[in-house]
Amino acid sequence: MRISSRLGQIRSEVKAFVDDRLTLSHIRASMAHALDTVFPPHRFDSAEDAAPEALLGAGLASANWSRVRFLDHDGCDMCARPFEGGLFLGVGAHCNDCTDKPFPFRQARAACVYDEAVSGLILGFKNGDRLDLAPMLTRWLERAGADVIAEADIVMPVPLHPWRLLHRRFNQAAELARPVARRLGRTYLGNALKRTRQTHQRGKGAQARWENVRGAFAIGQRDRKRIKDKRIVLIDDVFTTGATLRACADTLLKAGAASVDVCVLARAILSVSVPK
């Protein structure tokens, strides 16, 4: 009787110990999650120092690699859109749309066409499912934008709204911009440009997209001094209608930037839906 009582006591002590440990581990996990939410982990470029050529196709099956339509500065100099039929109209040529209504930025570079070959990769990267692609995608961006980034003083990402950043936990444009700036020796300003209201562009036409993002960006007084008279390269993942990039460039130029250029991973040229 006494032995069984002692055994019961030991059993309950062991259970309490295990419960405590579980509780502690749960608390630790919850705290880690909370910290991750408040201070998003955003360094996925650990493999960035690998050999550049090895990273250009890393993470892609050869069949997928061959389907990617890489651009080579052979489209419109201002919006990076390829000309009809793949024609090359000369260095610095502008498309009809940019001639009629120029963007405030001077030039745009895109690594590839946004189509079925890359939409899954870019979406996976944005959503955090394919962060392993970050080193490869930054190499694409770096190669496409090398000439405009070489002339720049500052590299900065198109910002997310703080609520979107909290939800997604990282800004995919910043994940592209930061390692490129570091490798090419340019100043990286990740927080100077701010998105002051949430903007959902999906499913909207060009005019609606522009009205949606116009005036949605701002630069703090202190950061105005940092960008004054500086040449800036804006980085984003996809150039769709250019409305967001136009709004960002407008804001930067009004705040005193000397010039703005644009560098993106992919240029949407067909009516392929690009989730934001």
**Residues of the shown chain interacting with Zn ion in the complex, contacts defined by CB under 5 A:** 76, 78-79, 95, 98
Task: Name, in order, each residue with C-beta under 8 angstroms of 228's C-beta and a sequence gap of 6 or more.
Answer: 255, 256, 257
The smaller minimum CB distance to Zn ion, of residues 47 and 93, is found at 93
3-state secondary structure of 191: coil
Rg (CA), the chain: 24
Please, what is the minimum distance in Å from the beta carbon of residue 213 to Zn ion?
Answer: 19
Please, what is the minimum distance in Å from the beta carbon of residue 111 to Zn ion?
Answer: 17
The smaller minimum CB distance to Zn ion, of residues 139 and 246, is found at 246
Please, what is the minimum distance in Å from the beta carbon of residue 221 to Zn ion?
Answer: 34
The smaller minimum CB distance to Zn ion, of residues 156 and 262, is found at 262
Please, what is the minimum distance in Å from the beta carbon of residue 96 to Zn ion?
Answer: 8
Q: Are 80 and 71 in contact (CB under 8 A)?
A: yes
- Closest listed residue to residue 213, CA positions, set 153, 177, 161: 161
β strands within 133-239, DSSP E? 154-157, 187-188, 193-195, 217-219, 231-239
The smaller minimum CB distance to Zn ion, of residues 79 and 160, is found at 79
Separation CA 52–CA 247 (nearest Å)? 33
Please, what is the minimum distance in Å from the beta carbon of residue 274 to Zn ion?
Answer: 17
The smaller minimum CB distance to Zn ion, of residues 56 and 98, is found at 98
The smaller minimum CB distance to Zn ion, of residues 94 and 161, is found at 94
Q: Are 227 and 252 in contact (CB under 8 A)?
A: yes
Please, what is the minimum distance in Å from the beta carbon of residue 94 to Zn ion?
Answer: 5
The smaller minimum CB distance to Zn ion, of residues 58 and 98, is found at 98
Buried b (16+ CB within 10 A) or exposed e, 97-122: bbeeeebbbbbbbbbbbbbebbbebb
Task: Name, in order, each residue with C-beta under 8 angstroms of 264's C-beta and a sequence gap of 6 or more.
Answer: 80, 108, 109, 110, 111, 141, 235, 236, 237, 238, 239, 245
Pairing of strands 217-219, 193-195: antiparallel
Please, what is the minimum distance in Å from the beta carbon of residue 182 to Zn ion?
Answer: 30
Here the tokens at position 19 are: 């419960």
